[in-house]
Amino acid sequence: MFYSNKNKTYLFILSPGACGSTLCHQILSSSENIAINNNLWEREGEQLPVVRDLIGEYWKDENKNRALDWRAIHTEWLKYWNPAKPVFLDKSIFTKFHSKWIEAEFDNAYFICLHRNPYAVLENYLRKINYQPKEKTIQHAIQLLKIQRWNILNLKNTYNLKYSNLANDPKSEMQKIRDWLPVIGEIKFKKKYKNQNYLNAKKLPIQNLNPEKIKRLSKEDLNLINNELEKEKDLMEFFNYEYIYT
């Protein structure tokens, strides 16, 4: 490996969009033990200037499994991580597609695999992404959940994090994460966090927004979502999500 410093732990938040990764990153980065590689934009290491060029248009289907120069990406991130801290944290949307290469490149890599109720996620996607026909947006969300299942089942060091658990009881969930990876150290909570949400609030206390988001789905959209999710019973069971019909 290019860098095999056994004294460093690399912690990656693997997450689809609209699943609470920015909140998770903000909470974790309160620890004095954690170095972050980007505290701007949406706190994503992929947004750093050279890294943007290295990864290209990763969101396009033809690029999701494209080999990347992970040595070069690693080198760039090391320029931003504080070397005095034991844990190097990254939250980049594209990493969930490339986790097996990340695991091969970064010694001592750990992964928080974050996911969220697909109905709540799709309220966001249908409002913001809205591929046409709508079934395409729904299938996109399902595919992302399948990728997270693969990551949980195949990566060595993973923590399966459900958004609702984090939002409902953040202190308890963070303690579980610290038990899983003690080097994270002490977490300091704030009263409010920056977040992207349908309320357009710049800062909010930690709260579970799933119920309100699901209520916003129209009956038509709910029927379309269920038509696709009913084909994925094993996926719903794996993540312990229930079907919603009304």
Identify residue 198 by its one-letter amino acid code: Y
Domain 9-239 class? alpha beta
Listing DSSP states for 134-195 in one string gives HHHHHHHHHHHHHHHHHHHHHSSSEEEEEHHHHHH-HHHHHHHHHHHSGGG------S-EE-
For 44-53, 56-65, 79-88, 181-190, which range has the lowest pLDDT when averaged over its residues?
56-65
For residues 206 and 197, is the Cβ–Cβ distance under 8 A?
no
Band of the pLDDT at 61, cuts 50, 70, 90?
A: low
Quick: pLDDT tens for 68-114.
999 999 999 999 999 999 999 999 999 999 999 999 999 999 999 99
Distance in angstroms (rounded) separating the CA atoms of residues 176 and 170? 10
- Is the pTM of the predicted complex or chain greater than 0.85? yes
pLDDT band at 64 (very low <50, low <70, confident <90, very high): low
Spatial CB neighbours of 212, under 8 Å, sequence gap ≥ 6:
198
Contact yes or no for 88/40 (Cβ under 8 A): no
- High-pLDDT (> 90) share of the chain, %: 82
